[in-house]
Structures are given as structure tokens and as C-alpha cells.
Structure 1
Amino acid sequence: MRDAPNNAPYQSIWTHLHGLDFEQRYIKAGAVRTRYAHAGRRSAPAVIMLHGTGGHWESFCANLAAHAEHYDCYALDFVGSGLSDKPAHPYEIATYVEHVLNFMSALNLEKASIIGVSLGSWVAAAIAIAAPERVEKLVLLSAAGYFSTAANRAQIKKDRGGSAADPSWERIKGIFSRLLAREEARIDDLIGLRQALYSMPGAAEAMQNVLVLQNPDIRQKNLIQDDGWRAIVAPALVVGSLADSDEYLDTARIVSKLIPDASYVEMEGVGHWPQFEDPETFNRLSVAFLKGG
């Protein structure tokens, strides 16, 4: 085993998954063939994990084991992302909401708690508003969907769109320099997986459909207004990442005050993926919240 630059043991996706009893499967969620990972007892309460823009279920590889001790856990690839189907039309928030609700119905999940990061947090909140009877609790990481800045939209388009058009190692690694605060957290496994996914036929075209939410007019009409956040009845844990101090941290602080039954915590030394960068802290906070602590 080779060492990371700081002499810590080398990390990979399988560092987190190798001892976990889990399965990767595909299921039709409506018309969308959907890739997902499952771990935990099917008789336990369900937890669904939703990734960010242009991501994949492996962003939760460090969280499945801890949550599966108590919950029936599902981490999926959104429509248009990962290895799920990529229908040729723009993906707005309603598209993702429909996809997740169809995914739940296909698996006979009447209700679930939802953990979402970035775009996933936006979709989770939108589901809680559109179908409150389907949502038990929310855990929102790098919260999005309240406002956006031109600079951040441009950066996302440059990172995801540019990397899908030219999936070189350096371009893909550049995405993770903004997702993860610490260099040693930007492991080769993640870069290699993202490179493989972005190199697939049709990936560049699908990314343009994913990136419609970076169009200012489309973004604006998809944002959740104050009354929407206030309408969320599910208890929520909102996590702010102190090394991701841009619109996401601001959004986390704002929406945690708008959601009626919300708790807010901050994590130090982590970027846009706190669940991956400091899984010990995040898993402890998340599991305690979901269990009612």
C-alpha cells in the first residue's frame, strides 16, 4: 500500500466499501434505467442519498456503512448522470423530483429520509415541498436552491462542461479541487471514475442538459422561494462547510432559519463534500439526527 503525500494510508473508494455488505443494481424509475447502491436491512427505515451536479453515487461511499447499521440505504445516480439513463431533454428540478419519486415507487418505498449534497440538497428540499408525505427527514449538505451567483454558475459550467468535453486527468482533477478542501482527499479513485464516466459516449451531450440549471433564467425559475422553504414540514439537519465559504455556506445559514424544524451545524476543514472529506464527523451527526438525537 503506497502512502498519500502526508504519509497517511492511501485511500480509495474501496477503503470505505470493502467490508460492507452492499449491492449495486439497476432499476427502472419510470422510464429511466437507474443505477444505485443498496446497503442495510430492507425492514429498516429508508434513507436515500442524492449527489451533486454531474456526480454519481460513489460520492457517498464513505457514508453507506455507518448509515446501513441502522437504515435501509440507497444511493443513486440521478437521471442524466453517472450510469443512469440520459434522455435527450433538459433536466430541471422537477425532472429530478420526478426521477427520485419514481425510484422510490419502483422499490416500494412509501417514505424515506433524504440526504442531499449541493444539487441533491436542492432536489431533496423540492421533494419535501412537493410530496411531504414521502419524506421523513432531510439532511442538507452544501445547500443549494435559494440563490445563485454568476461567478459560481460560470465555474460549474467551466468545470463540468469543459471536463465532459475534454475529460483529461488534469481537467477532472480540477473539479475535485473545488469539491474537496484538502489535496489528500482528492483521491485517484474519484478522479479516475469521473474520467471514465465523462468519457462515455453521449456524456458531453448529457452534461449540457444537466447544466441548464446554470442558465440564469432557468435557474431563477427553479429556485425555492422563502415560502417554499417555510412550507417544509420534515425535520431537517443543515450542515454548513466552513471551507466552502461561498453561496453554499450562505444558503445553509439562511435556509436553516427558514425551515420551521431545522437544526444547523458547521463542520470545519471541509469543502463542498463534507460527507466524504470528514465522514467520521458527518456520519456521527447524521445518524444521531436521523435517530432523533
Structure 2
Amino acid sequence: MTQAKFLQDRYVKIGSIKTRYWCAGDSGSPIVLLHGAGSSIEAWSRNIHALAQSHQVYAFDMVGSGLSDKPFANYSLEYQGQFLRDFINALKLQRAAFVGHSMGASLALKLTLESPEQVEKLVLVSTFGLGREISIASRLLAAFPLIVHLSQPSPRNVKLILQQNVYNLKSVPNEWIEMRSEAFKLPGRKQAFVSFLKSNINLLGVRRSVFRPIVSSLANVTVPTLIIWGKQDKIVPVAHAHIAARQIPNAHLHVFDQCGHWAQFEHPQEFNQLVVEFLTAAQQIDGAVV
């Protein structure tokens, strides 16, 4: 199992938002890693060093997440997508590959659709927003946000959350559970997470106004795209992976068995190899499925 390795925190101001980011690698083309909702750059701690062997890698805490500022705002995909644009502009990244997980994948996908000239290649991991279907827990939290506000950030509760995200809880080290418990205590985190839920999900699932524009535009994705999913994903069903693989013209699909919502964390060695090979390949074959 690839060990989690943390990097030195750096900070940059994106408008008025103090934003934490990591940077690794001093050669090759740039890669931007985008974490999921309620997560942070530590989600890439088993991947960033391997990717940095051949690329310049950037990962950052999205506004409202991790150690970045958490202003009172409507955390819609549009709001966070603009923040992503502002971040890559602040770091003067004119063109990069984007590797996104869950919410981060939907942001990378929207950026690709709106500004394809900025995206060299695209890796989508358990993408949020490819259909209405999402876990019952996500729908309940969106419909009844008081659950989030009343929840206590204890290791026990973190384990309950992780059981929904990973196939095998034993793959998550205790120090990671302790770290996530402390992260849940950060001021403003609950408010930002609730805002994301309410903006994008209701009791029926992902809001139609969120997923329909994305799904209806998949055929317009022009960059080479690698789609990665966990076969046992309890958050976003693997059926959504096949929707994207059928409609994106130059898409490759890889499904990990014995894997939940966090493929990059649960199968890091295989994930890293798969992504590096995809990013360094000279060209891709249209419609290939692996």
C-alpha cells in the first residue's frame, strides 16, 4: 500500500480567499488535482509524489474546504468553478491536465466544456453530476441539513462516513481518521458543506438543473479523457461511468473491483500507474474501453 505523504503547505490569495495548496515536481507538463466535496488536498497524499516524477503537480483546498477560507456563500458548481479558474490564473497555468474526484471531477469537466483550450487531458474519478442517482445519505443530508450541524466530529463518526466512501475501512490508517476528525472541527466547514449539498442535491437526488447541462454536453468534450470508478461505489453508481464512456468521444474507462468512491486512495499504486500512462501517452484511440 502506497503511504500517504504530506507536502509543505503553501498559500496564495485568490481574490480575498486565502487558499492552501501543494506543489511537487519540477519538470514535465502541469497537472491540477481537484478533491471532492467536504474533502481536502490530503485526499491526493498517496498520489502526488508518484505523479510528480514526470509532471509539475498542483493540488489545492477548494474554497470552503480544508485549510482554505470558508466564506458565507452559495457553494454551487458555478461558484466553485469560477474559483478554479481564478486559481489556475493566479498560478499562471495556461494549459494543464486536470485530475478530479467526485465534485472536483465535475468542476474539471465543466472547465473542459467551457474552456477546452486550457485542458490538455482529463481524468474523471467517480464524477458527481452525471445523473440524478446519488447515495441516500447524501440526499438526507441535503434535505435535512440540521443533521450536519448537529453531528460531532469524532473518530467514530468519521469512520461511519468513511464506510460509505471506501470498500474496506481497514485500508484507511488510524492517523488519517484522526486527521479528518480535526478537519471537521474547522470553523465554517459545516456551513460550506451544507451550502454545497443544498445547492446541488435534494431529497430526490442530484438536482436536474445540475446534472442535465453536464450530461447533455458530454459529446462536446474534445480532449482525451480517462474515466475511473470503483465497482462498489456507494456514493455515485458505477452506471454513471458508462454514461460518460459512451458519450465522450475520446474516452477510456477503467473500473476498479473491490473499490468504493475513493479509487485514488484505495488502489493508489494501480491508480498512479494508470494515470501516468494515460497522461504520458502520445495519443489515445477513440472510444477505447479498458
Identify whether the pair has TM-score above 0.5, normalized to the shorter chain: yes
Of residues 55, 60, 67 in structure 2, which corresponds to 1:76?
A: 60
Alignment partners' CA distance in 1, 2:72 and 2:65: 12
Q: Does 1:240 align with 2:224?
A: no
Give matches, 1:206-285, under 5 Å.
Answer: 206-212=192-198, 213-215=200-202, 219-223=207-211, 224-244=213-233, 247-285=236-274
Report sequence identity in percent.
30
Q: Which residue of 1 aligns with 2:100?
A: 116
Letter aligned with residue 283 of structure 1? N
Alignment partners' CA distance in 2, 1:114 and 1:236: 10
* Kept in 2: contact 1:143–1:249 (CA 8 A): no
Cα RMSD of the aligned pairs, angstroms, is: 2.4
| TM-score relative to the length of structure 2 | 0.88
> Cα distance, 1:51 vs. partner?
0.9
> Cα distance, 1:263 vs. partner?
0.7
* Kept in 1: contact 2:164–2:234 (CA 8 A): no
Q: Does 1:65 align with 2:49?
A: yes
Q: Does 1:189 align with 2:189?
A: no
Unaligned ranges ≥5, structure 2: 283-290
* Kept in 2: contact 1:90–1:210 (CA 8 A): yes
* Kept in 2: contact 1:113–1:135 (CA 8 A): yes
Q: Which residue of 2 aligns with 1:52?
A: 36
Q: Does 1:138 align with 2:122?
A: yes
* Kept in 2: contact 1:146–1:251 (CA 8 A): yes
| TM-score relative to the length of structure 1 | 0.87
> Cα distance, 1:207 vs. partner?
2.2
Q: Secondary structure at the match of 2:72?
A: coil
* Kept in 1: contact 2:231–2:260 (CA 8 A): yes
> Cα distance, 1:162 vs. partner?
2.8
Alignment partners' CA distance in 1, 2:28 and 2:147: 39
Q: Does 1:25 align with 2:10?
A: yes
Of residues 187, 190, 210 in structure 2, which corresponds to 1:201?
A: 187
> Cα distance, 1:119 vs. partner?
0.9
> Cα distance, 1:76 vs. partner?
1.1
> Cα distance, 1:114 vs. partner?
0.7
Alignment partners' CA distance in 2, 1:135 and 1:46: 10
Deviations 1:118-163 (A, max 9, x none): 1111111011011111111111111221112362532564899637
Q: Which residue of 1 aligns with 2:87?
A: 103
* Kept in 1: contact 2:155–2:181 (CA 8 A): yes
- Kindly tell me: are residues 253 and 217 of structure 1, through their superposed partners in 2, closer, same or farther at Cα, counting changes over 3 Å? closer
Q: Which residue of 1 aligns with 2:112?
A: 128
Deviates more, 1:66-75 or 1:154-163: 154-163
Deviations 1:161-213 (A, max 9, x none): 63774212211111111111112112222222221121122222222222222
Alignment partners' CA distance in 2, 1:245 and 1:170: 19
* Kept in 2: contact 1:139–1:238 (CA 8 A): yes
Unaligned ranges ≥5, structure 1: 1-8
Deviates more, 1:178-187 or 1:242-251: 242-251
Deviates more, 1:23-32 or 1:148-157: 148-157
* Kept in 2: contact 1:48–1:115 (CA 8 A): yes
Alignment partners' CA distance in 1, 2:156 and 2:146: 13
Alignment partners' CA distance in 1, 2:190 and 2:61: 16
Alignment partners' CA distance in 1, 2:145 and 2:52: 32
Q: Which has the higher helix share?
A: 1
Between the two proteins, the alignment pairs up a number of residues equal to 277
Letter aligned with residue 87 of structure 1? P
Alignment partners' CA distance in 2, 1:173 and 1:136: 37
